[in-house]
Amino acid sequence: MPSSSPSRTRLTTVLSVAVLVLGAAFAAFYFASERSHSGSGNAKAASATPTSPAKRTALAVSTVQAQQTTWSQQLSVSGGVFPWQEAVIAAETSGLRVVEVAVDVGSVVRRGQLLAELARDSVDASLAQQEANLARARLPSAKPRPTPTARAGSRAVAPCPSS
């Protein structure tokens, strides 16, 4: 009982066309890759045939065995070498950066000899802050400042907006 519905016939036609298109694409790819492999595999034969520069598609190259040799060429240049990025790497002791270590490990040292120099920038900043605090504390003021406990006990009330 051969029943051939129109949808089944259409599906068969579409599948047949798809198989033919895929087969043609595969064949074209296969032959194109064979042509490119055969052209690069026989470089001497390709370079022996005379071709015009307009038709030449690839650059002819030759290979040699690697060997060690001395290079007699010297370059003289002038200029500066500058770092791309800098990083300060330093040890700290009590928050102070060590600038210079004056003695080596195992050296004999005397009493009072300088062993290491610490950075003064943070010490100078702290000293300036303390001197500013002292100068502000010595300023005469018209009325006495309230103590922190007196300030905590006082309350400020915001005025109510009038309508």
Domain that residue 35 falls in = 13-42
Is residue 112 situated within a structural domain?
no
Is residue 25 situated within a structural domain?
yes
Residues 6+ apart with CB under 8 A from 100: 116, 117
pLDDT, tens digit, 9 for 90 and up, residues 52-88: 555 656 777 888 888 888 878 888 888 988 888 887 6
Q: Give the Å distances, CA to CA, from 50 to 37, 57, 60, 63.
A: 20, 13, 12, 21
Is residue 152 situated within a structural domain?
no
Is residue 26 situated within a structural domain?
yes
Is residue 56 situated within a structural domain?
no
Is residue 110 situated within a structural domain?
no
> Tens of pLDDT along the chain (163 residues)?
455 677 888 888 888 988 888 888 888 888 777 666 555 444 444 444 555 555 656 777 888 888 888 878 888 888 988 888 887 666 767 778 888 888 988 889 999 999 888 888 888 888 999 999 999 998 876 555 555 555 544 454 445 555 4
Which of 73, 72, 50 has the alpha carbon at shortest distance from 60? 50
Count up the domains in the chain and report the number: 1
What is the reported pLDDT for 39? 52
What is the reported pLDDT for 76? 85
Is residue 29 situated within a structural domain?
yes
Dihedral sign for Cα 65, 67, 73, 76, please.
positive
Is residue 31 situated within a structural domain?
yes
Q: Cα(156)–Cα(36) distance, rounded to whole angstroms?
A: 91
